[in-house]
Structure 1
Amino acid sequence: MAFSVKGKSAIVTGAGSGINLAFARLLLDNGCNVLIADLALRPEAQVIVDKHTPQTTSSRAVFQKTDITDWVQLERMFEVAEKEFGEIDIVCPGAGVYEPHWSNFWRPPGSAASCDSPAGGRDNKKPKHIIHISSIAGQNPAFAAPIYAATKHAINGFVRSMAYLDELFGIRVTAVAPGVIKTPLWTDHPEKLKMVAEGADAWVTPEEVAEVMLALVQQEKVSEIIGDKKGQGRQFAVQGGTILEVAKTVRAVSPYNDPGPGNRPGNTASDTKFVVNESIELLKQKGWGASKL
């Protein structure tokens, strides 16, 4: 069920920068309280938090330092949000990292044992919305970043698997699948910028993605034209399991026989061969893959 964000409250992880910050800003501008959960705030995020204090605006922003790999900190994040705002209506688990240069897939760092623990006490009958950030990498292979691509494929499968929650319990789980977005995930990594050919490839802005995210929450249909509220252009129905690809236009991603992102403006990185070749050279290094036993 669609609902207005005005007067609601949200948790947005990874909102210290990029798409998640743009979404948090848009929620705040539309009258929604936001808890920003991240490791730190970039200067532009700090400005937003400072602006939305109880003394200055009706919508409030609260920063909670959170490492999303730590279950205790995640629980604390919810506790703080509920203490500050009461009921939480929207959750955007948008925090993520791109594999470091070359790729930790080829040099597995190991991982800690699962710390998952059941949490309860948050169920009620009001409509809720959980919006995930996937990627066109969830439809494409990515030799140089296989873990990133795998996680985005996983998000798509997870979102679609949660579709029945909408009909059964009023909890709508959706996702956006952005193309090439001008965020620090790209601009802070020169090795990634090699893939983008200026003039040939078009950047999508975080604000454009955020507009589609807000539309997913507030509307029963979303236009292929970003920011359109008058029903112009092709319309995509929103329900549990909906995934909308966000390039310079919007496209619904089908679970079956989907044609893929293609070469739509905002979806292309023309020079991926640079990072692919760098990864291949890494694999050719003497001793790579040799047993250390």
Structure 2
Amino acid sequence: MGSTTDPVPFFVEGKTALITGAGSGINLTFAQLLLARNCNVLIADLSLRPEAQKLVEEHSSNDGAKARAVFVKTDVVQWPDLDNMFEVAEKEFGGADIVCPGAGVFEPHWSNFWLPPGTAKSKDQARPETGLGHYATLDINLTHPIRVTQLAISRWLNPSEGGKGGKASTANPKRIVHISSIAGQVPGFPTPLYIASKHAISGFIRSMAPLDTLGIRVNGVAPGVIKTPLWTDHPEKMMMLDESVDTWVEPDEVAEAMLRCCEDDTVGAGWILEVLKGKTRNVEWCNAPGPSGPGATAANGADIAAEAFKWLGEPGWGVAKG
């Protein structure tokens, strides 16, 4: 899909990246990689973990000696917050050249298909006052990156007078890098909302390929099992892994693939780079073999499936409180 080269090569040095969810995990690692290459970074998240706070403090100087990092508190399900982070990018850096809507959740108990809205552990409302229901997992993993993509395209096609670099074109290219997952290629009974969100975002990425004719290249990465807080901070998800059998993909491997999505002219528009341990490939949109090898397995997935069936066996499953 789309062109495999740009008339003008894209390099991250001297550019600005806007990254949601960069308070931790692979998005923070990507931010670190960009800053090391003299690329400014706007970190948009609800809060910062200590390592992210330290990164912002180390790159807070405005003396021009090195790239800057700026934090803007952002709730990605609130569309005014998404507008605001672009406004902050404009104010601090003259706009963004790279946008990574990377914030995501791994079907936590508070927004989980098997713990339906209105039941004890769910924060999703069964009877919202407006009547308009939401699964937070889908709002974060799917609606937010779609909306951020729209906002980025609009900014790049309608630059402000004081904006950096002018209108996007093949002579003035821009980049959007999404975070999909190997979950976008396989079924997964224990986490069907997460699976659905990643199948959907992979389809969205591929559908954006023709934008490269306007100088806007949209790509994504599809990591395997990565050692980040998405797993390590959630004991209920760690139950899926047997570390004597399963292999972690390192965040650095994913960040390098994200950098390739920005700079590598051999990466085509709409491509999704699957990242396993020591192996990266483009996943074609049809007839692609599934993920296999180190970093692609969760040996104890059946245990989590059994937990879902246990919940289904409880009296009144899915009946909302009140």
With the length of structure 2 as denominator, give the TM-score of the two structures: 0.81
Alignment partner of 1:122: what SS?
Answer: helix
Letter in 2 for 1:130: I
Q: Is the 8 A contact 1:7 1:32 kept in 2?
A: yes
Count of matched residue positions in the alignment of Structure 1 and Structure 2: 275
Please give the residue correspondences for 1:215-230 in structure 2 after superposition, counting only pairs within 5 Å.
Answer: 215-221=260-266
Aligned counterparts of 1:81 and 1:245: Cα–Cα separation in 2: 29
- 1:122 maps to what in 2? 156
Q: Is 1:8 matched up with 2:54?
A: no
Residues of 2 paired with 1:54 and 1:42: CA distance? Answer: 20
78, 84, 89: which one pairs with 2:92? Answer: 84
Task: Using the TM superposition, give the Cα deviation of residue 289 of structure 1 relative to its aligned residue in structure 2, in angstroms.
Answer: 3.9
Aligned partners of 2:62 and 2:68 also within 8 Å: no
Contact 2:249–2:295 (CA under 8 A) maintained in structure 1: yes
Q: Which residue identity is paired with 1:245?
A: E
1:148 and 2:194 correspond: yes
Check the 8 A contact 1:102/1:144 in 2, yes or no: no
- 1:181-192 matched pairs, under 5 angstroms: 181-192=226-237
Question: 1:87 Cα shift?
Answer: 2.9
Q: Structure 1 CA distance, aligned partners of 2:110 and 2:311?
A: 8
Give ranges in structure 2 of 5+ residues lacking alignment: 1-5, 118-123, 126-132, 158-166
Instruction: Look up the match of 1:51.
Output: 58
Matched, 1:280 2:287: no
What is the RMSD computed on CA atoms of the aligned residues? 2.2
* Counterpart AA for 2:240: M
Choose which of 272, 290, 295 in structure 2 pairs with 1:260.
290
Cα distance in 2 for residues equivalent to 1:283 and 1:179: 28
The change in CA–CA distance for 1:17 and 1:121 in structure 2 (over 3 A counts) is: closer
- Measure, in 1, the Cα distance between the counterparts of 2:321 and 2:16: 51
1:71 aligns with 2:79: yes
* Residue of 185, 203, 210 corresponding to 2:248: 203
CA gap 1:54/1:292 in 2 versus in 1, 3 angstroms: closer
Q: CA deviation at 1:199?
A: 2.1
Deviation at 1:103, TM superposition (A): 5.4
- Partner Cα distance (1:179, 1:22) in 2: 16
Contact 2:225 2:248 in 1 (8 A): yes
Deviation per CA, 1:33-89, whole angstroms, max 9, x where unpaired? 000000000000011101112257410000000000001111010000111001310
Deviation at residue 257 of structure 1 after TM alignment:
0.5
Of 47, 66, 69, the residue aligned with 1:61 is 69
> Counterpart of 2:29 in structure 1: which amino acid?
A
CA distance, structure 1, for counterparts of residue 25 and residue 18 of structure 2: 15
What percent of counterpart residues are identical?
57
**Structure 1 residues without counterparts, runs of 5 or longer:** 222-237
Q: Residues 291, 204 of structure 1: CA spacing in aligned structure 2 closer, same or farther, 3 A cutoff?
A: closer
Matches of 1:208 and 1:176, distance apart in 2: 11
Cα deviation, residue 194, structure 1: 1.4
CA distance in 1, matches of 2:319, 2:52: 45
1:195 and 1:102, CA in 2 relative to 1: closer, same or farther beyond 3 A? farther
More helix by share: 2
Q: Does the residue aligned with 1:34 lie in a helix, a strand or coil? A: strand
1:160 aligns to 2:160 (yes or no): no
Q: Please report how far the alpha carbon of residue 180 of structure 1 lies from its aligned counterpart in structure 2 after TM superposition.
A: 0.2
1:234 matched to which residue of 2? none
Moved more, 112-121 or 33-42: 112-121
CA separation in 2, counterparts of 1:275 and 1:122?
A: 44
Question: Does the aligned pair in 1 maintain the 2:42–2:71 contact within 8 Å?
Answer: yes
The C-alpha deviation readout for 1:8-37, integer Å capped at 9, x for no partner, is: 001000000000000011010011000000
